[in-house]
Chains A and B, each alone.
Chain A
Amino acid sequence: MSSFLKHRPSLPLWLGLLSIGVLIGVAGALNVLINGHAQVYNVTREVPWGILIATYVFLVVSSTGLCLLSSLGHVFGIEKFEFIGKRAIILAIITLLCGFGAIGMEINHPIRLAIYAIISPNFTSAIWWMGTLYGLYLVLLCGELYFLMKGMHKGAFAMGMLGFIAAVSAHSNLGAVFGLLEARPFWHGSFLPIYFILSALVSGGAIVSMIVYFNHKQSGTPMPQKYEDFIDTLGRLQTLFLMVLVFFVIWKIIPGIYGHPPEKYEATMAMLTGPLAFNFWFFEVLLGLLIPITLLINPRTRTPMGVMWAGISATVGIFFMRYDLVIGGQLVSMRAGTSDLRDGLLHYVPSVTEFAIVIGAISACLLLYTLAERFLPLDTDEH
């Protein structure tokens, strides 16, 4: 027993830490409910979307990525991927719900949204479509999980196929929430809807590598060949996703600086040399891209542990990709004469309450998944 414990993080400690994280989030949420958004958030009139929107995007990208990765198995019939089905789908549901929680704390009236999105819909609004498509996606994920748990493969296939379509639609539409804003040159265009689909694959691959590694680690037995083969395949696939993502990042930057396009240039430079530069170079480029690619491209480090570390590194990097994308697009003032500029840019630093809610949302994801792992039969029967 003692050697068994040595090989895995102590579960009570893990649950305790996550519970504290959730409590921090609850305290943040209560602070908002008691004192009001304006008093406890650092978002402003000119930077109205803060870290909670970035966290929402991060979590729903994760959800989409998990759905896409799991669909490789039970929709597209790549056998190696079938055994991750239930775990990927249940975590997709959890990340989606926690993402909803994060955006629910950012918007002022989530209840009005539920009412007026139905009785007074505006079909030209990408946020209306976002709510509708993600709602549909959630229902399909739940259906897919039901059929997977019951071992009904035809139903799971049908739901998985519909879920795949919903995931890609909802997620590219999330890119369009930003991409349709003509007023924000850093976001505007068809780049973001496409980029979001690719980055979801990277997110999904990274999280699946962690799921498989830690889930196995918990059992305290040597890893079966099947798992090792899967992780090797996943690692290669993830290398492909990451390398394509490198080109997405490069081609996001070049049009942003070439010929100094107004407003786009300033926002791009905010990432390259300005207030977001550390986030960009350290978290996005180093942790998000270079370290994972280095670990994954070398057969000696493409071990289960290496792929897992690449996954953690990429996931941290991806969080900052979301943050920099959301904040970077708002740093250029919409009009001349705004007094409170630093080096010609607006500024935003998340407040303590905003951080608390982010910690709460991410802890809630991990806690719910850990509980699901303990109490639900997630091991797939062979078929």
Chain B
Amino acid sequence: MKNKRFAIVLDTNRCIDCKACTVACKTENHVPLGTDNYRNWVGPEPLRGTYPDLGQSFTPSQCQHCSNPPCEHVCPTGATTVTPDGIVHVIEHKCIGCKYCMTACPYDARYYNEEIEAVDKCTFCSQRIYGENGQLPACVETCPTKVRVFGDLNDPNSDVSKLLAKYPSRVLKPAQGTKPNLYYLI
């Protein structure tokens, strides 16, 4: 059977900056309290226009699950690794806490989790997507305006494939050569 290539497509025009994705993620993945501890976030873009005609967009993001992940290249013990379905994840007991991956990631997608004693990051909620009911990642499911769409790019009939076929999109920091798998519709 062909492997999957998991990805998320985001329509940031829908984002209302409610941060429900961050809350859902923290709850689902037992992210410890603390301002440095989060797997996903909502990034505010600069204000547009002049008062009173103002506008603002928000860019939710997380680990890009790069096809060419710098964090995997730099990890001295192979603690950061990629599953056949393209999920970049950390094998906790191998993590030495050198934080090289944190300096190598151009997206600031990682933090050190004192509770699991390893660097932690988004796993596309692998416990949910591979679980019995095949649920969506928590951030995708909880979003009230359906900013994120999750799916398999290797399946041409998946929602993500269809969206990317229909609309132009961009990735973050393409010049880094990381080949991200979070796509932002333009």
A336 within 8 A of B: yes
CB distance from A349 to the nearest CB of B (A): 16
Chain B, residues 59-77, CB within 8 Å of chain A (1/0): the string is 1010000000010011111
CB neighbours of B34 from chain A (8 A): 38
A299 within 8 A of B: no
Chain A count of residues within 8 A CB distance of the other chain: 41
A48 to B98 CA separation, bound complex (whole angstroms): 9
Nearest to A119 among chain B residues (CB) is B77
A42 to B49 CA separation, bound complex (whole angstroms): 38
A334 to B176 CA separation, bound complex (whole angstroms): 12
Say yes or no: A49-B43 contact (C-beta < 8 A), given A44-B36, A116-B77, A125-B76: no
> A183 to B78, Cβ gap below 8 A?
no
Nearest to B110 among chain A residues (CB) is A45
Chain B, residues 89-119, CB within 8 Å of chain A (1/0): the string is 0000111111110111111101110100100
A244 to B172 CA separation, bound complex (whole angstroms): 40
Nearest to A183 among chain B residues (CB) is B106
> B103 to A107, Cβ gap below 8 A?
no
A122 to B61 CA separation, bound complex (whole angstroms): 28
CB distance from B44 to the nearest CB of A (A): 5
Nearest to B113 among chain A residues (CB) is A38
B55 within 8 A of A: no
B177 within 8 A of A: yes
CB distance from B119 to the nearest CB of A (A): 9
A337 to B43 CA separation, bound complex (whole angstroms): 5
A379 within 8 A of B: no
A131 within 8 A of B: yes
A255 to B131 CA separation, bound complex (whole angstroms): 51
Say yes or no: A48-B103 contact (C-beta < 8 A), given A36-B114, A337-B43: yes
CB neighbours of B96 from chain A (8 A): 107-110, 112-113, 116
CB neighbours of A124 from chain B (8 A): 73-74
CB distance from B161 to the nearest CB of A (A): 27
CB neighbours of B35 from chain A (8 A): 340
A78 within 8 A of B: no
Q: When the two chains form the complex, which single residue of A37, A109, A110, A337 contacts B44, counting CB atoms closer than 8 Å?
A: A337
> B112 to A108, Cβ gap below 8 A?
yes
CB neighbours of B73 from chain A (8 A): 122, 124-125
CB distance from A367 to the nearest CB of B (A): 28
A181 to B100 CA separation, bound complex (whole angstroms): 9
A191 within 8 A of B: no
A240 within 8 A of B: no
A127 within 8 A of B: yes
A113 to B95 CA separation, bound complex (whole angstroms): 8
CB neighbours of A45 from chain B (8 A): 36-37, 102, 108, 110-112
Which of A124, A182, A183, A337 lies at the interface centre, i.e. has the most chain B CB atoms within 10 A of its CB? Answer: A183
> A183 to B77, Cβ gap below 8 A?
no
> B76 to A128, Cβ gap below 8 A?
yes
Nearest to B98 among chain A residues (CB) is A107
Chain A, residues 49-73, CB within 8 Å of chain B (1/0): the string is 1000000000000000000000000
CB neighbours of A121 from chain B (8 A): 76-78
B79 within 8 A of A: yes
> A113 to B76, Cβ gap below 8 A?
yes
A126 to B103 CA separation, bound complex (whole angstroms): 13
Within 8 A of B (CB), among A245-290: none
Q: When the two chains form the complex, which single residue of B74, B99, B105, B177 contacts A49, counting CB atoms closer than 8 Å?
A: B99
> A335 to B107, Cβ gap below 8 A?
yes
Which of A36, A117, A333 lies at the interface centre, i.e. has the most chain B CB atoms within 10 A of its CB? Answer: A117
A110 to B102 CA separation, bound complex (whole angstroms): 17
Q: When the two chains form the complex, which single residue of A116, A329, A333 contacts B79, counting CB atoms closer than 8 Å?
A: A116
> B78 to A49, Cβ gap below 8 A?
no
A322 within 8 A of B: no
Nearest to A118 among chain B residues (CB) is B77
CB neighbours of B78 from chain A (8 A): 116, 120-122
B45 within 8 A of A: yes
CB neighbours of B106 from chain A (8 A): 182-183, 334
CB distance from A48 to the nearest CB of B (A): 4
CB neighbours of A335 from chain B (8 A): 43, 61, 107-108, 172
CB neighbours of A239 from chain B (8 A): none
> B103 to A183, Cβ gap below 8 A?
yes
A333 to B44 CA separation, bound complex (whole angstroms): 14
CB neighbours of A177 from chain B (8 A): 100
CB distance from A348 to the nearest CB of B (A): 13
CB neighbours of A180 from chain B (8 A): 74
CB neighbours of A131 from chain B (8 A): 76
| Known interface pairs A122-B75, A183-B104, A338-B108; 15 further A-B residue pairs with C-beta atoms within 8 A, sorted by A's residue number | A44-B36, A45-B37, A108-B112, A109-B117, A110-B96, A112-B95, A120-B94, A122-B76, A122-B78, A125-B75, A125-B76, A127-B76, A131-B76, A329-B103, A333-B108
- 10 nearest A-B pairs in the assembled complex, by CB-CB distance: A108-B97, A337-B43, A116-B77, A183-B106, A48-B99, A334-B108, A128-B76, A45-B36, A127-B76, A113-B96
Q: List 16 A-B contacts (CB under 8 A).
A: A37-B114, A44-B36, A45-B36, A107-B97, A108-B117, A113-B77, A120-B79, A121-B76, A122-B75, A127-B98, A177-B100, A182-B70, A182-B106, A183-B105, A335-B108, A337-B42
